[in-house]
Amino acid sequence: MTTAEPPVPPSPTSPRGGVRRRQCALALAAAAAACLAPVAVLLAVLVLAPSLLPRLLLRPHHVVPYVATAELRLLAFDPAASAVAYNLSATLRFDSPCLYCTWRYAELRATPSYAGQKLGAAAELPEITQRRGSDSRDAAWAGTQRVPPGRRARAVAAALAREEAEGRLGVRVAVSTVQNGARSDFACVLSFPAASVPRRSGSGAAAAAVFDGGRCVDAVPREI
Ligand SMILES: *[C@@H]1O[C@H](CO)[C@@H](O)[C@H](O)[C@H]1NC(C)=O
């Protein structure tokens, strides 16, 4: 049997009182944070806006190139030599951004890569001074690119095997140019039907896989 005792009121120093005070303090802190957060955001906007707005509104306008067409006449990896043999050409098109302006593309370069491995050196293309309409530049790359044996070589071989199974081979072309004085970089993905890509040089007269074209995208330099 237990004897009923009157309940003891919690003293200020009792653990329960401490818990309540801590809860109170937490609630107060949460309320203060809730009030201050919008103020902090407002301050951040006020501080950053003058530097961000012009960049957003007056973003250096640049023309994104377009791959009009491309042909892949050879793409093969030789594991014994740890080298990729390639023969690729592409026509890059630049459409004028305005009716009555002069647009200048200087230092125009295009570099192909496969599975992160650059294929040869950049093709340096003649610069363009455009008044209206569109201008094109043809680029061609052919040769044998040695791939460092090990991780790099395995990555190239694995990408080839995977893409052949999937049916499309993707070659990237990094395009860089200086448009009216502003540097711009793009990545163009050229997608070819894997079955029609010759695997050996000289196999078949003019055998080539064709890419029907597509727009390039903005890229960070040397990202690919
Ligand atoms: C690449 O292909 C073109 C067109 O078929 C050919 O004229 C050229 O000789 C080839 N280049 C190499 C290095 O095989």
How buried is residue 76: exposed, middle or buried, by Cβ count under 10 Å (0-12/13-18/19+)? Answer: middle
% of the chain beyond a pLDDT of 90: 59
State the Rg of the chain over Cα.
31
201 CA: nearest ligand 1 atom: 14
**3-state class (DSSP) for residue 175:** strand
What are 70's two structure tokens?
């491309």
pLDDT of 29: 72
Q: Give the CA distances from residue 120 to residues 141, 143, 173, in Å, rounded to whole numbers and listed in that order.
A: 7, 7, 12
- Counting the structural domains of the chain, the total is 2
**3-state class (DSSP) for residue 18:** helix
* Cα 28 to averaged position of ligand 1 atoms, centre (Å): 75
pLDDT of 50: 56
pLDDT of 212: 94
Q: What is the pTM of this model?
A: 0.72
Q: Is 224 part of a structural domain of the chain?
A: no
Give me the mean pLDDT over the 122-149 stretch: 95
Domain that holds residue 54: 12-59
**3-state class (DSSP) for residue 213:** coil
What are 81's two structure tokens?
């030599």
pLDDT of 83: 97
Q: Is 7 part of a structural domain of the chain?
A: no
Assign residue 132 the CATH number of its domain.
2.60.40
Separation of alpha carbons 110 and 188, rounded Å: 10
Same domain, 181 and 137: yes
Same domain, 186 and 210: yes
pLDDT single digits (tens) 17-67: 566 667 766 777 777 777 677 777 776 666 666 555 544 454 456 899 999
Q: Give the CA distances from residue 186 to residues 65, 87, 165, in Å, rounded to whole numbers and listed in that order.
A: 8, 21, 28
142 CA: nearest ligand 1 atom: 13
Residue owning the nearest CA to atom 11 of ligand 1:
142
Among 28-32, 172-176, 216-220, which is the least confidently predicted range? 28-32
Same domain, 98 and 29: no
Q: Is 3 part of a structural domain of the chain?
A: no
Q: Is 6 part of a structural domain of the chain?
A: no
Give me the mean pLDDT over the 148-153 stretch: 95
